Amino acid sequence: MTARRVAVIVVAAGSGTRLGADLPKAFVPLAGRTILEHALHSVAGMARTPHVVVVAPGHLLAEARTVLERVIGSGDVVPGGATRQASVAAGLALIGDAEIVLVHDAARALAPAELFDRVVDAVERTGAGAVPGMPVADTIKRTDASGAILDTVDRDTLAAVQTPQGFPADQLIAAYAAAGRSVTDDAQLIADAGHPAHVVPGDPLAFKITTAWDLHRAEELLREASVTRIGVGTDTHAFSDDPAAPLWVACLEWPGERGLSGHSDGDPVAHAIVDALLSAAGLGDIGGVFGTSDLRFAGAHGDVFLSETRRLLTEAGWRIENVSVQLIGNRPRFAPRKAEADAVLSELLGAPVAVTATTTDGLGFTGRGEGLAAIATALLTR
């Protein structure tokens, strides 16, 4: 059996009245990304590659398209309606020839990719709707309009349902076309149309961000899940025998100073930083990544190595928090250009870099003036 074609509709057109931010809810920042971007990252993590439709407020279509293209690569963006139901209907018009359709609230920003996969698998296996649900922990009372308790509902028969909800596409399209009332989830219209649907295990992370408290909880969860890594790197180069060799240290040229020997420009500060960054990220070291036989790097200055290292880290999901480097040697006199070096390196890495320098009291190869060394530490988060 070939796998069914899957579409995911992400509804993000609500205003977020209960959240009370000055932006529509899906465009509110959460740990440095929008709520919509988090939701799309989960979709991007699915085992299948679905067709993705984002339903957005009419005045934010361009923003929605930018994040859709960045996170998923392709898909459709369509303006929503006045209700969630109208927004889903707008999205359904763009699912093309998909056989299984998932409808997901952007507001459930932390719903894991595995939950999407579980729903797709259940629809494929049963040929019927699949709705993630959580057991209800509280005792539930039925009350009258005045609040007087009438009875207790047996919570074992209840499920608090979430999204993504998945359905055979033809069933959901027909159910929407025939909709005779307004509902708050898609499974209600499927039931109205007389189709079965089943609850599959939900995920606590698929909670809906509704109020400011929920947004705060999502921030905390992301903060706790973030990973911090430290790395160390050192580098040493001997002064060159060639009196005309220029000196490059910390991505700056030092006119009038004796140069260093090395395959590239011999910049020990830049090379120690690269090793610290690669080590923190678990990506190996400068020799392995840049290879001394690679002609692209022969004579290259530190900026080439630092920019490429930054790109590799970003690709692997790492963010550079800061870098600290110490240069060891008698010359050049570093202090007068420290601010310049810090600025150039910080710009190259997009993170604060601080360089200091020290001598070794006349001891060792640095004390004898035979060469320079540098030690760097780097802190990354993901």
Closest to 186 in 3D by CA, of 110, 123, 112, 114: 123
Query: Should residue 310 be labelled a site residue for ligand CTP when binding is judged by CB under 6 A?
Result: no
User: Which range, of 9-17, 134-142, 294-302, 369-377, touches ligand CTP by CB under 6 A?
Assistant: 9-17
> What is the rounded CA–CA span in Å between residue 86 and residue 177?
11
Alpha helices in the chain (DSSP H): 35-44, 61-71, 84-92, 113-126, 169-177, 186-192, 212-225, 268-281, 286-290, 302-315, 338-349, 364-367
One residue of 9, 55, 300, 379 binding ligand CTP per CB under 6 A: 55
12 binds, among Mg ion, ligand CTP, none (CB under 5 to 8 A by kind): ligand CTP
Cβ neighbours of residue 67 under 8 Å, at least 6 residues apart? 34, 36, 37, 40
57 binds, among ligand CTP, Mg ion, none (CB under 5 to 8 A by kind): none
Q: Provide the mask over 205-244, with x wherever binding to ligand CTP is found by CB under 6 A and - wherever it is not.
A: ---x-x----------------------------------
For residue 78, what are the β-bridge partners?
A: 55
For residue 135, what are the β-bridge partners?
A: 159
Residue closer to ligand CTP by CB (options 198, 208) is: 208
Cβ neighbours of residue 351 under 8 Å, at least 6 residues apart? 319, 320, 321, 322, 323
> What is the rounded CA–CA span in Å between residue 63 and residue 76?
13
User: Which range, of 9-17, 48-56, 315-323, 330-338, touches Mg ion by CB under 5 A?
Assistant: 9-17
> What is the rounded CA–CA span in Å between residue 264 and residue 295?
10
User: Which range, of 11-19, 170-178, 182-190, 191-199, touches Mg ion by CB under 5 A?
Assistant: 11-19
Residue closer to ligand CTP by CB (options 10, 120) is: 10
Query: Should residue 94 be labelled a site residue for ligand CTP when binding is judged by CB under 6 A?
Result: no
| Least distance from Mg ion to the Cβ atom of residue 14, Å | 5
| Least distance from Mg ion to the Cβ atom of residue 82, Å | 11
One residue of 38, 51, 84, 195 binding ligand CTP per CB under 6 A: 84
User: Which range, of 93-101, 104-112, 221-229, 280-288, touches ligand CTP by CB under 6 A?
Assistant: 104-112
Query: Should residue 132 be labelled a site residue for ligand CTP when binding is judged by CB under 6 A?
Result: no
> What is the rounded CA–CA span in Å between residue 191 and residue 193?
5
The number of residues that bind ligand CTP (CB under 6 A) is: 23
Closest to 206 in 3D by CA, of 187, 221, 196, 195: 221
360 binds, among Mg ion, ligand CTP, none (CB under 5 to 8 A by kind): none
Place of tokens 């279509």: 61
The number of residues that bind Mg ion (CB under 5 A) is: 1
Do 299 and 331 contact (CB within 8 A), yes or no? no
Residue closer to ligand CTP by CB (options 162, 309) is: 162
Binding site for ligand CTP (CB under 6 A): 11-19, 25-26, 55, 80-84, 87, 105-107, 208, 210
